Chain A
């Protein structure tokens, strides 16, 4: 039995085509991005996350085609209808189709996530790089500001900011971006500090490269991986925060079909018509779960230590 196996092994090695294939596989041109996607596809949870998020993106994009109803037109005759063939997820207290509102709400939630994360990412990365690369007093100032921002419970800080700016979805978005700035800032700062000591940065300096060029060409690309992961995870928290502010009446105002606001509007009917709460609640949960799964998957895929 064993000898047979051995022979087989030897044969497969002798077989030139098999050997060539092995070689070509090893020699295959790899780019960091291709590698990451390959790793990500191996991770089943990450794939589930991608599917969930794709589903909500498509839902938002094609909302007008998917339902015949309007998200704000009231139909009091049909109020608090349970799920049926006509109204897949039932209707709310003023007779609006919940599926329609969820679909249009997906647009809002994803937009909130995108803009809040982008804002936090841009400003956080900028501040983090300045603090980490130049150090000294500028680092002290920026780091202390981050500390102050992080000392407040984030939702409390967001509430305070919205109270100053006035309750609207746009202001909620700004508030969420602000509370996320120190999270990105600290992440980038620590990465930059470790990169700054790398010999290739010293080599770049020894070549006569200017600081700005070193930052854009060498520091930024090398710190991209943790930023991408944090951005993905931040998407989820931003959506959750937006829903939280919406629930408190500080975010989107009625009749905007924002998921958090939908929850708040129907909490009186929890016993009478539970679907009015369950559907937006589950939607929020799914989107946040989706982004977290992708984020975790990306973290593993981008971490060189996790590669086998």
Chain B
């Protein structure tokens, strides 16, 4: 399996706050293959963003720290990587784009300067060369009049344009992995579709793997090959987009999909999962979702469910898949220890 770009193994990122230790990422394992678009879905505060920041080693420290697990980027464990090595990787091999295009660019500098700066950080090219390449990149992401826009200040561009610029910047050094942290959340729907198209094209043309963090299942359906559903710092379900959206296994995923507005049922009140996301805390026993789950039974509150492997490389963290218990539905085969 040499085509794995990124592999997280039992990643634990904890925050050490005044009110105690908070396990924001609590044993996350996932893989991103070459040229694949993987969506990470979950509610606010479920650890999606912290997972992505952990990969970049950019978790604000203090209070956050990676306390366990491995982050393997092409056979290199980034948890042990030196600061110097991380600076080479960031922006060059792994690029990242953020949620707020309005604030991701320095308001004082022309976007050209910022792009040139980024390129020259990793490659020894002349300013003119870097500028020409920036113009090419801007054209690539569909910015009209790229040779004029390059001399604009960020405030002269709209949100969608700025996000395009951010994507152009992130693609400057042909990264192998692009981490996009809710890249379309701050944009309106039409622009959202354009940006997703753009990312999909870049993924196809340059074979860049994309780890897309979002809470929008619509976005997932649009461009992701595979989906990882997170809840309270854990991966609770994983599988191909098609299968997860068509036949979700975990009650939480089912709830998420049910709470999407449906055009056919106009009069019905929109479904919402009862309760709220639990605050992550240390030493919690039992399924994280059990208090909100309509299928919960005694065992759910007494022990941690493992991530049950299902057919087609799918997995789900729910006791309903435990065949050894006998009485319950599901077709799980092996049990992967937590």
The chain A residues found within 8 Å of chain B, CB to CB, are 32, 136, 198-200, 202-210, 217-218, 221-222
Tell me, rounded to whole Å, the shortest Cβ–Cβ distance linking B132 to chain A. 19
- In the complex, the answer to whether A200 meets B90 with C-beta atoms within 8 Å is no
User: A204 to B105, alpha carbons, bound, how many Å?
Assistant: 9
Q: In the complex, which residues of chain B have a beta carbon less than 8 angstroms from the beta carbon of A210?
A: 87
Across the two chains, which residue of chain B brings its CB closest to A224? B108
Taking A199-B99, A206-B90, A207-B118 as known contacts, 17 extra A-B pairs with beta carbons closer than 8 A to each other, sorted by chain A number, are: A136-B62, A198-B103, A200-B104, A203-B98, A205-B56, A205-B58, A206-B91, A206-B96, A207-B91, A207-B121, A207-B169, A209-B87, A210-B87, A217-B106, A217-B117, A218-B106, A222-B106
22 CB < 8 A contacts A-B: A199-B103, A203-B104, A203-B166, A204-B106, A205-B58, A205-B90, A206-B58, A206-B91, A206-B96, A206-B98, A207-B118, A207-B121, A207-B169, A208-B87, A208-B92, A208-B121, A208-B122, A209-B87, A209-B117, A221-B106, A222-B107, A222-B108
Q: Is the interface of A mostly helix, strand, loop or mixed?
A: helix
Assess the B121–A209 pair: CB atoms within 8 A.
Answer: yes
Partner of B56, one of A32, A200, A206, A222: A206
Closest to B106 in A: A200
Selected contact of A202 from candidates B58, B95, B107, CB within 8 Å: B58
- A204 closest partner in B (C-beta): B106
Verify if B293 is at the interface (C-beta below 8 Å from A). Answer: no
B118 to chain A, nearest CB (A): 5
Question: Shortest distance in angstroms between B20's beta carbon and chain A's nearest beta carbon?
Answer: 20
The answer on a CB contact under 8 Å between A208 and B104 is no
CB interface residues, B 101-132, toward A, < 8 Å: 103-109, 117-118, 121-122
Give the complex CA separation of A209 and B116 in angstroms. 13
Q: Whole-angstrom distance from the CB of B32 to the nearest CB of chain A?
A: 17
Indicate whether A208 sits within 8 Å of B91 (C-beta atoms), given known contacts A202-B58, A203-B166, A222-B108: yes
Residue of A nearest to B102 (CB): A199
Contacts known (A200-B105, A222-B108); A207 close to B90, Cβ less than 8 A: yes
CA distance A198 to B91 in the complex (A): 18
